[in-house]
Structure 1
Amino acid sequence: MLYEMIGIVRPGNLAEVKEYAPRPLRTQHYSLLAPSTGLAFPPIPRSLPMPLYALRIVLAAGQLVLRQGGVIRSVDNWGIFALPRTISKAQQLHHNGHYFCMRYDASTETQHAVKNTMSLDPRVIRSTSVKLGDNKLETLSKFGQVNWLNSAR
């Protein structure tokens, strides 16, 4: 099944969380590959399209999908926006959030595992997953980029 997950991560510096403090870089590129997984991700350049604190959350969800035989279709960085209302999570009030969107093909068990992982992470303010289509080729071929400028008409 094709799923779309939209997540909201608390904006801020990754170094504020002790166990996620970045280590000094030795090369021009670095990889966020966890040594125990054995999954290969290409090295990510220093000029990231997405901040490192949000990218690590996306990579955790992506590794979970890949480990269980799924395929990641796209990851989009929507940036930092004001939340529709103040949200409290982990005894903190949040007014802004860093939005991202990830489309992936996976089983329903994998989707539940991704949902549980996102709900347990204290850096994630809110996340939701939606099943796209009915798993037929003609329906799935209609999905594309969201046309934000003309969608209100």
Structure 2
Amino acid sequence: MLYELIAIVRPGSLKEVKEIAKNAGVQVLRSGGVVRGYTNWGTFTLPRPTTKHQARYSEGWHFIMRFDASGPVQAAVRRTLSLDPRMIRFSVVKLGTKLEDINDVPGRVEWNPHKSNLRDGIRSLDAGIFGSREGQE
């Protein structure tokens, strides 16, 4: 199964982000999975301030890892990340199970360079998914 890990790490050094990403990737590889690629999106302001591990954060370092692995491996990656105090937030999304669905999925996740921050990107994504509400009343 193809998964996408979307992670937000506390702001600080890039070394911490690389270490967390490497540990997650090594865990997948040791379990017989495949890491398709990493994408570093850099630091962004969070949609709202978040408290995690008794600290308050208003921005975080975002990265994405795409990987193929079994369900138990994905659960182990989630468990490991949830115990790391440097993590602010993360999510694992299943992109597909059939080869026909996932064979053309690239390893990198491109960011729209015309967006000034993550919140603008989310707003435009919501507009694209839900459509315009004009004239629906």
* 5+ residue gaps, structure 1: 14-50
TM-score, length of structure 1 as denominator length: 0.69
> Which residue of the other structure, out of 88, 98, 121, is the alignment partner of 1:136?
98
Per the alignment, residue 54 of structure 2 pairs with: 91
Per the alignment, residue 118 of structure 2 pairs with: none
Distance 1:85 1:147, change over 3 A: closer
Higher strand share: 2
CA–CA distance in structure 2, aligned partners of residues 115 and 54 of structure 1: 16
In the alignment of these two chains, the number of paired residues is 115
Give the CA deviation at 1:132.
0.4
Higher helix share: 2
SS in 2 for 1:148: coil
Give the CA deviation at 1:83.
0.4
Q: What letter corresponds to residue 4 of structure 2 in structure 1? A: E
TM-score, length of structure 2 as denominator length: 0.77
Kindly report structure 1 stretches of 4+ aligned residues shifted beyond 4 Å: 149-153
- Output the aligned Cα RMSD: 1.9
* 5+ residue gaps, structure 2: 115-120, 129-137
Q: What letter corresponds to residue 100 of structure 1 in structure 2? A: F
Q: What letter corresponds to residue 92 of structure 1 in structure 2? A: A
